[in-house]
């Protein structure tokens, strides 16, 4: 799905990533580990095409890439529903939305403006997007942060669901998760 060769990246002459080599196969779930500041987020941003000032090669066969960053890309002044439907990543049927909202227990807040929601609820909104979207490669930066146990299980199931469809997933997290097929430590 994606192949990284001799990838290096530096910020103001300070090397952040040095000579990375790895490969991700279809239907593989990779758990990206590392200390704070080890360049996990940066690596995901490079793989998703947000940062392109790196050395080395990133070869990808993924037709489309789903990126979930630290900043969720949600608009405070829009409703939950608008935030989901007008998201650049939304590529599913509109009908599937209400079912997904029910699953994440957000159905009652469909028309609520986002600034009324807590951090955890916002996270959930962006995870509904993750649940609905059909992509080849998912790059998730801290998808489990700010979530309760129930939410964590939902995400694990979602990730498995995407895996069964043949997509690959790379996610970062500080805790251990048994869904991953492989761990990659930076």
Partner 1 sequence: MKSFYFKTFQRDSKVYLSRSSSFLGPIVFFLITITLYPLAFGSDEEKLAELSAGIIWISILLANLLSHQFIFNEDFKDGSLDLVLASGKSLFLWASIKIFVNWYFSSLPLIFLSLLTSFMLYLPFDAALILALTLFLGTPILSMFGALAGALTLERGNIVGSSIVIPMCLPALILGILAIQSYKNEELFFYIFLLAAFLFFSIPILIASCLGAIRLHFE
Partner 2 sequence: MRQLFNQLISFPYFFKIAQISFPYLFLLSILVILLGVLWGVFFSPVDVTQGEVYRIIYLHVPAASVAQSIYYTMVIASITYLIWRIKMASVFMISMAPLGAIFTFLALFTGAVWGQPTWGTWWVWDARLTSTLILLILYLAIISLFSSFDRRASTDQAVSIVVLIGGINLPIIKLSVEWWNTLHQSASITLSGSSIDNEMLIPLLISIFGFYLYVTAIGMRKMQVEILKREISHNWVKEIFIEKR
Q: Could you give the CA distance from residue 15 to residue 73 in angstroms, rounded to a whole number?
A: 28
Residues in the chain: 186
Q: CB-based contacts of 28: which residues, under 8 Å, 6+ apart?
A: 1, 163, 168, 169, 181, 182
Q: Which of 46, 43, 25 is nearest to 33 (CA)?
A: 43
Residue 67 binds which of partner 2, partner 1, none (CB < 5-8 A, kind-dependent): partner 1
| Piece in contact with partner 2 (CB under 8 A), picked from 9-17, 66-74, 102-110, 168-176 | 9-17
Site for partner 1 (CB under 8 A): which residue of 78, 145, 179, 186? 78
The token duo for 36 is: 């704070």
Q: Binds 78, which of partner 1, partner 2, none (CB < 5 to 8 A, cut-off by type)?
A: partner 1
Residues contacting partner 1: total by CB under 8 A: 30
Cα-Cα end-to-end distance for the chain:
20
Site string for partner 2, 27-56 (x = CB under 8 A): --------------------------x---
Return the one option of partner 1, partner 2, none that residue 38 interacts with (CB less than 5 to 8 A, by type).
none
């Amino acid at each position: 799905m994606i192949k990284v060769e001799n990838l290096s990246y530096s910020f103001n002459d300070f090397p952040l990533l040095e000579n990375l080599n790895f490969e991700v196969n279809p239907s593989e779930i990779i758990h990206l580990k590392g200390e704070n500041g080890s360049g996990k987020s940066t690596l995901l941003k490079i793989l998703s095409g947000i940062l392109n000032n790196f050395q080395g090669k990133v070869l990808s066969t993924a037709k489309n890439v789903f990126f979930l960053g630290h900043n969720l890309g949600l608009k405070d002044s829009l409703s939950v529903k608008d935030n989901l439907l007008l998201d650049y990543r939304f590529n599913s049927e509109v009908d599937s939305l209400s079912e997904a909202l029910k699953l994440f227990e957000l159905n009652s807040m469909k028309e609520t403006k986002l600034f009324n929601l807590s951090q955890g609820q916002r996270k959930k909104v962006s995870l509904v997007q993750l649940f609905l979207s059909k992509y080849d490669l998912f790059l998730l930066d801290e998808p489990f942060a700010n979530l309760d146990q129930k939410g964590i299980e939902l995400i694990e199931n979602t990730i498995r669901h995407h895996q069964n469809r043949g997509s690959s997933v790379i996610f970062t997290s500080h805790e251990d998760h048994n869904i991953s097929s492989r761990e990659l430590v930076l």
